[in-house]
């Protein structure tokens, strides 16, 4: 089972490589990838440097070009594919069928992974993508239960990567427009959910307010913890009650079901968080490396260590973690 870690910059890439990642993933400095935030991501030269650093240590590098170009900006996505292919990266993580078609035709030697943004959640969809574009891996949207993941793997011949840790998307990735509904920009079109330019934080007599595109997502009492504001974790009135109508401000942690993921035949675990820090990548990579090694050695005896739990809890956004959709009761 491969450990795939986030690299928002060169320092994070080196931290991931040094602390046990089997692969790192990263993006160019624009909206061609789904973590398009100011100060984040790589120039071509930085990718070349990161590639050398990683390859010298036998770690793979994947480049995410996983947003959806439109006619007016199509050329930039095509150029991103060409640039990444030219750099000799180990795989491209793509979502759009047009971009996949382009990459498969122009660069048949390059490995293509279907991004989580590609929204393939079943054998027919994955088989379709494999048949047309020769995808070598699929990253599953966070919708299937563990049993469904296991069954899916039995029914496809494409290796499966799943999200194991980090921020939890509640909606099927690639088909969530909540962010653009409030701000005009979505992960698909802009490469970011809740783009920072549209987020407001304001202290008011009623409490601290966070808004996206002017819409009030949360108003919390002083001292209540605040994560990065996304619509799906906001608190609203529903049926006369004020509540987190979609999901609590929680993040994903699948460490305790690692033996089951291994037994299900999951090929790779992805750690979310290119927008986080070098410290985050260092700690999370260390813990997951240790855990995957322990689990691979002896799955029956696998137990999560208290020290792992503490480290992961300290770097989790929000106050709690969840196994999320892998656990059927979450649905």
Partner 1 sequence: MPERAGFNMAEIQRPRLSLGPILYLWPREQVFDFYAEILETPVEVIYLGETVCSKRRQLKPEDYWELAERITAAGKEAVISTLALIESEGELKTLKRICADQRFLIEAGDLAALEFLEGRPFVAAHSINLYNQRTLDFLIKLGLKRWVMPVELGRSTVADLLKYRPVGVECELFAFGRLPLAYSARCFTAYNRGLGKDNCNFCCGDYPGGLLVTTQEGQAFLNLNGIQTQSATVHNLLPALPEIRALGVDLLRISPQSQHTAEIIRIFAACLDQTLDPLEGTMRLRQLAPGELCDGYWTGQAGYRLGMALEAH
Footprint (CB under 8 A) of partner 1, residues 187-216: 188-189, 213-216
Determine the Cα–Cα distance for residues 322 and 284; give it in Å rounded to an integer: 16
Written as six digits, the tokens of 164 are 């194991």
Q: Is 35 in the site for partner 1 (CB under 8 A)?
A: no
Residue 239 touches partner 1, criterion: CB under 8 A: yes
Residue 131 phi/psi, 5-degree rounding, is -65, -40
Q: How far is the CB of 204 from partner 1 (least distance, A)?
A: 10
Q: Quick one: which segment of 22-30, 234-242, 257-265, 282-290 binds partner 1 (CB under 8 A)?
A: 234-242
Measured CA to CA, the distance from residue 112 to residue 138 in angstroms comes to 9
x/- mask, partner 1, residues 270-309, rule CB under 8 A, reads: ----------------------------------------
Which residue, 3, 125, 132, is CA-closest to 62?
A: 3
Please, what is the minimum distance in Å from the beta carbon of residue 239 to partner 1?
Answer: 7
Residue list 72-91, contact with partner 1 (CB under 8 A): 72, 74
Instruction: Record the tokens describing residue 117, joined without a space.
Output: 């943004």
**What is the rounded distance in angstroms from the CA atom of residue 260 to the CA atom of residue 35?**
30
Q: Is the CB of 217 or the CB of 295 nearer to partner 1?
A: 217
| Shortest spacing between CB 273 and partner 1, in angstroms | 21
CB atoms closer than 10 angstroms to residue 186: 24
How many other CB atoms are there within 10 angstroms of residue 303's CB atom? 11
Interface with partner 1, residue 174, by CB under 8 A? yes
Q: Residue 161 or residue 247: which is nearer to partner 1 going by CB?
A: 247
Regarding 95 and contact with partner 1 (CB under 8 A), the answer is: yes
Query: Residue ranges of the alpha helices (H) in 3-139?
Result: 10-18, 44-56, 74-87, 97-106, 123-133
- Interactions with partner 1, residue window 98-117 (CB under 8 A): 98-99, 101-102
């Amino acid at each position: 089972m491969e450990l795939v870690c986030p690299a928002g910059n060169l320092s994070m890439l080196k931290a991931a490589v040094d602390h046990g990642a089997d692969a790192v993933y990263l993006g160019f400095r624009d909206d061609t990838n789904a973590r398009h935030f100011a100060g984040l991501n790589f120039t071509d030269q930085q990718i070349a440097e990161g590639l050398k650093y990683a390859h010298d240590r036998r770690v793979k590098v994947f480049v995410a070009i996983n947003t959806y170009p439109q006619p007016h900006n199509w050329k930039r996505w095509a150029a991103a594919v060409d640039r990444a292919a030219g750099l000799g990266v180990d795989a491209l993580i793509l979502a759009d069928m047009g971009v996949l078609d382009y990459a498969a035709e122009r660069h048949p030697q390059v490995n293509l992974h279907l991004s989580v943004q590609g929204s393939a959640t079943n054998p027919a969809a994955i088989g379709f993508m494999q048949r047309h574009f020769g995808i070598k891996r699929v990253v599953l949207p966070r919708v299937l239960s563990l049993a469904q993941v296991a069954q899916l793997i039995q029914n496809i011949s494409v290796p499966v990567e799943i999200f194991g840790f980090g921020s939890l998307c509640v909606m099927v990735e690639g088909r969530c427009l909540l962010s653009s509904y409030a701000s005009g920009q979505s992960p698909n079109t802009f490469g970011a959910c809740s783009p920072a330019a549209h987020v407001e934080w304001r202290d008011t007599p009623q409490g601290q307010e966070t808004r996206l595109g002017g819409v009030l997502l949360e108003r919390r009492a002083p001292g209540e913890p605040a994560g990065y504001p996304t619509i799906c974790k906001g608190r609203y009135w529903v049926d006369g009650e004020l509540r987190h109508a979609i999901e609590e401000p929680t993040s994903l942690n699948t460490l305790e079901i690692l033996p089951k993921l291994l037994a299900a035949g999951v090929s790779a675990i992805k750690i979310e968080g290119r927008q986080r820090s070098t410290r985050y990548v260092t700690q999370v990579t260390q813990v997951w490396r240790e855990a995957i090694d322990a689990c691979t050695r002896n799955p029956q005896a696998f137990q999560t260590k208290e020290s792992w739990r503490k480290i992961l809890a300290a770097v989790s956004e929000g106050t709690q973690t969840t196994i999320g959709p892998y656990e059927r009761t979450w649905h």
